[in-house]
Structure 1
Amino acid sequence: MEPNSFDAEAVFQRAMTAYQAGQLVEAEQLLRIILVEIPTHDGIMTTLGGVLLASGQIATSIELLQEAIQLNAANPDAYLNLGIAFQQSGNTPQAIAAIQQASQLAPQRPDIAYNLANVLLETQQFTEAIQVLHAIIEQQPDFLQAYDTLGAVYHYLQKTDIAQQTYEQALLIEPNDLKLLTTLGNLLADTGQTAAATTMFQRTIEAHPDHFLGYALMGKFYLDLGKNNEGLATLEKAYSLHPGDLNVNILLGNANNELGRTDQAEQFYRQALDISPDDPGALSNFRRLMSSKIPYWHFEMLADSERNNAYQAAIEKAVTPATRVLDIGTGSGLLSMMAARAGAERIVACEMNERLAATADEIIALNGYDQQIDLFSKKSTQLKVGKEVKEKVDLIISEILDVGAFGEGVLPSIRHAVQNLAKPEVKLIPAGLQLFGQLIEIPFRSRIAPVKEIAGFDLSPFEQFRISDEYFRIILKAENYQVLSPVIPLMKVDFYKLPPAYPDDRPMETFHEFSIEHNGSLQALVFWFDLQLDDDIIVSSRPEGELEHWGQALFCFPQHPEVKKGDKVRVKMLQSDMMIRFRLMV
């Protein structure tokens, strides 16, 4: 500090103590006092800029940091904070330029380079970010954050082998780091390395016996493997260590539900909702449990002759005597047997539902195809080449589509199978799909979406039994409804060029504009899909389409604005790997 008539150093230390304690207003006031006495001190300006940034005063922070740089163009912290401020204001190019300048001024500082890598990642400049992260590790091999981010980038880019090596390298430096242990455990589990994942989760528990996270992840892993009793016991240990964790309560609800303990499952789902009332996972699981729907669609699917004929035609075109096939979600085994009858050399079928898998096994043997078809009661993501899948496959068949297309996991399942279980020239049935939608007025359905007043009584507590903010299946031609808009395309998906994975809490957002053709109350959006089995065969779940058993998906809006002919209505579509939702932009 520069000498002054008052003790600037003491005031600065008080400001830093307040800043570290989260007392941003006090920290700002103290730093401004110093600036009154020392108005040209670029270091104090830089620190104050960081405090303003932390308190959300981005524009003021930018002005002050630019002033600090004018006073001292060799101040790397001023450039770093300015870059972070630009980043938070959404000005990514200027953020990158500022942090790059900071890095040039202080090339020995890994914290600056790490911030640069993160900004580059925001703009999907993966190659540049990877280079920066590698440089950080080379310069400072014990900088664990760089390993963690680098591993995450490689995982996102689906270079899981390199991601695994990165995490393993970091664990050589810090063998008991909780985040590294759990991240690597999850990666091993996701890539089907069951034994290695088990070992890693056990290692986590041994290193942190009093921390709930290792037990929680091990419990979830057991559930994913279908080991519900082991999963339940391990999750109960996690619960004893941290009963207030949202995910532990949801997982315990799932485990109890799988074991038929519906009362206990309800209890844990309710506790999860007490912790986070708006959590979509807890809400969805709780309402699914309460609704207790019977999956009758299995029988309707088998009865859908148009669907069966279309799949058979596509399979017969694709199969040769040398074809090796993967059937994802075989259900009754029907599609696998079609491939076997068409002459495929070998079929690997998988079905995660143990009871359904056992029945499919019986059906396959009954029809004489048990020597051609290997059936496993597993998720396709748990299959491994050289084990269940002897050789990589030439053809992937699937029909893991719900009424809204994505709800049964078709996107992540195909993405994983293509990358891990198939030859580069693999054929896919289906090859893609396209969604179409239409705005409608549908009074009967909208009266209970949400449940409010019925016959003059407030029945809103009954809303807990309804699965809200999700679409549901209807047969549109059997409904009393009024068309409000034309049918428009919503999205097209090529299974050969799948989009990146979007999680439920960070969905992809797209906007669609509907032209209103009839006056009415805008109550719902109905949508369906055209399923492209191959280049020539397309079947549709539209109201007059071939796929009769699917029906259509109806998404009811909570508010019902009146619209008139000639109006334009914008709708935001939220799409993740497993879910589609809509929001009216009015």
Structure 2
Amino acid sequence: MIVFEIGAGTGLLAMLAARAGAAHVYSCERRADVAEAARAIIAHNSLSDRITVIAKDAHDLRLGEDLPQRADLFVAEIVDNSLLGEQVLPLTELARARFLTPDAILLPRTVSAMGALVSGHGHWQDYRMDQVMGFDLSPFNRFTPVEINAGKGGGELELLTEAVELARFDLHQDAPAEARHEVHLIAQQAGRAEALLRWLQLDFGDGITFENRPPQRSSWDPHLHLLPEARWLDAGAVCAMTVSHNRERLFLWPSEPSERDDPSVG
């Protein structure tokens, strides 16, 4: 099996692929200094004969020159905290079109964003202002950021709604330039919703998944999408959120109130 990787980094994924039985791994790395370090690590672990690190941007690679043939498996760690920020969609599409066999295995196969509405417990003071030394500073909340990092494990968070899939991308298919849809979150308990907590889910096939749902700690941190205004939710209430993407970033905001927010409406 021939393996192709975008983003060599330390060379760890390439070495794991070789250890798992790959005949050869071709890994491209656009930073020359990182590629040099990866080669040194691979040589130190006696795998230089089975791993080739190419110091080029993936867009500059040439089949038949840099890669002698199309690969049977594609592996890449090009997912960031926000899911799409490291170009996982366009880079995977590039790999499929130029460097992979038609039936090549993709790892991961799908990438998703999961989410739930949370109270501000443990975080609200980081982005909301109210009374300070007897003065009401709440008008300053107009400068509240749209999105913040929730930190390792998400900190002290209280989930108010069930978790839902916010967005899912099958990496075997080309993603549209942009898309928008609505999701509905059902409150499992009453509380003051301050933000939507978002985390990652990666599906590798055969029942193997990874999810950094808090309090799970990993190299990826969950994020908080702050609501323009906190809203009270009664148990059983439905909150509608609009989700959109432009292939590089996810955007989330509360949908306009409508009868669809009423759990009594089918």
- Shorter-normalised TM-score: what interval? 0.7 to 0.9
Aligned counterparts of 1:330 and 1:454: Cα–Cα separation in 2: 49
Greater RCO, 1 or 2 (C-alpha within 8 Å, sep 6+): 2
Aligned counterparts of 1:557 and 1:353: Cα–Cα separation in 2: 38
Aligned counterparts of 1:452 and 1:355: Cα–Cα separation in 2: 48
Structure (1 or 2) with the greater helix fraction: 1
- The alignment partner of 2:220 has SS state of coil
Aligned counterparts of 1:458 and 1:394: Cα–Cα separation in 2: 59
Q: 1:423 aligns with which of 101, 126, 141?
A: 101
- The alignment partner of 1:486 has SS state of coil
Aligned counterparts of 1:476 and 1:342: Cα–Cα separation in 2: 30
Aligned counterparts of 1:558 and 1:363: Cα–Cα separation in 2: 47
Q: 1:554 aligns with which of 203, 224, 227?
A: 224
- The alignment partner of 1:368 has SS state of coil
- Decide whether aligned partners of structure 1 residues 449 and 343 sit closer, same or farther in structure 2, where only a CA change above 3 A counts: same
Alignment of 1:568 onto 2:238: yes
Aligned counterparts of 1:435 and 1:347: Cα–Cα separation in 2: 29
- Aligned equivalent of 2:73: 395
Q: CA RMSD in A?
A: 2.7
* TM-score, with structure 2 as normaliser: 0.84
Aligned residues: 253
* Residue 412 (structure 1) shift: 0.9
Does the 8 Å contact 2:167/2:243 carry over to 1?
no
Does the 8 Å contact 1:449/1:557 carry over to 2?
no
Aligned counterparts of 2:180 and 2:43: Cα–Cα separation in 1: 46
- Taking the TM superposition and a 5 Å limit, the aligned residue runs for 1:382-461 are 382-449=60-127, 456=135
* Residue 350 (structure 1) shift: 1.6
Does the 8 Å contact 2:193/2:230 carry over to 1?
yes
- The alignment partner of 2:75 has SS state of strand
Aligned counterparts of 1:391 and 1:452: Cα–Cα separation in 2: 62
- Aligned equivalent of 2:169: 493
* Residue 489 (structure 1) shift: 2.0
Does the 8 Å contact 1:474/1:554 carry over to 2?
no
- The alignment partner of 2:37 has SS state of helix
- Aligned equivalent of 1:474: 151
Amino acid at match of 1:512: V
- Taking the TM superposition and a 5 Å limit, the aligned residue runs for 1:276-355 are 323-355=1-33
Aligned counterparts of 2:48 and 2:240: Cα–Cα separation in 1: 53
- The alignment partner of 1:542 has SS state of coil
- Decide whether aligned partners of structure 1 residues 385 and 518 sit closer, same or farther in structure 2, where only a CA change above 3 A counts: same
- Decide whether aligned partners of structure 1 residues 388 and 473 sit closer, same or farther in structure 2, where only a CA change above 3 A counts: farther
Aligned counterparts of 1:570 and 1:499: Cα–Cα separation in 2: 24
* Residue 533 (structure 1) shift: 1.4
Alignment of 1:361 onto 2:39: yes
Q: 2:159 aligns with which of 483, 486, 494?
A: 483
Does the 8 Å contact 1:450/1:558 carry over to 2?
no
Does the 8 Å contact 2:153/2:218 carry over to 1?
no
- Decide whether aligned partners of structure 1 residues 533 and 512 sit closer, same or farther in structure 2, where only a CA change above 3 A counts: same
Cα deviation, 1:267-294, whole Å, max 9, x if unaligned, reads xxxxxxxxxxxxxxxxxxxxxxxxxxxx
Amino acid at match of 2:209: I
Q: Which runs of 5+ in 2 are unaligned?
A: 258-266
- Aligned equivalent of 1:543: 214
Cα deviation, 1:6-60, whole Å, max 9, x if unaligned, reads xxxxxxxxxxxxxxxxxxxxxxxxxxxxxxxxxxxxxxxxxxxxxxxxxxxxxxx
Does the 8 Å contact 1:516/1:567 carry over to 2?
yes
Does the 8 Å contact 1:329/1:400 carry over to 2?
yes
Aligned counterparts of 2:53 and 2:73: Cα–Cα separation in 1: 16
* Residue 363 (structure 1) shift: 0.7
* Residue 453 (structure 1) shift: 7.5
Aligned counterparts of 1:458 and 1:445: Cα–Cα separation in 2: 17
- The alignment partner of 2:4 has SS state of strand
- Aligned equivalent of 2:189: 518
Alignment of 1:378 onto 2:84: no
Aligned counterparts of 1:451 and 1:581: Cα–Cα separation in 2: 24
- The alignment partner of 1:339 has SS state of helix
Amino acid at match of 1:363: I
Q: Which runs of 5+ in 1 are unaligned?
A: 1-322
* Residue 476 (structure 1) shift: 4.2
Does the 8 Å contact 1:444/1:480 carry over to 2?
yes
Moved more, 491-500 or 434-443: 491-500
Does the 8 Å contact 2:194/2:231 carry over to 1?
yes
- Decide whether aligned partners of structure 1 residues 457 and 405 sit closer, same or farther in structure 2, where only a CA change above 3 A counts: same
- The alignment partner of 1:448 has SS state of helix
- Decide whether aligned partners of structure 1 residues 483 and 441 sit closer, same or farther in structure 2, where only a CA change above 3 A counts: same
* Residue 523 (structure 1) shift: 0.8
Aligned counterparts of 1:508 and 1:354: Cα–Cα separation in 2: 36
* Residue 524 (structure 1) shift: 0.7
Does the 8 Å contact 1:348/1:373 carry over to 2?
yes
Cα deviation, 1:480-515, whole Å, max 9, x if unaligned, reads 332211112223322122422x2xxxx411101112
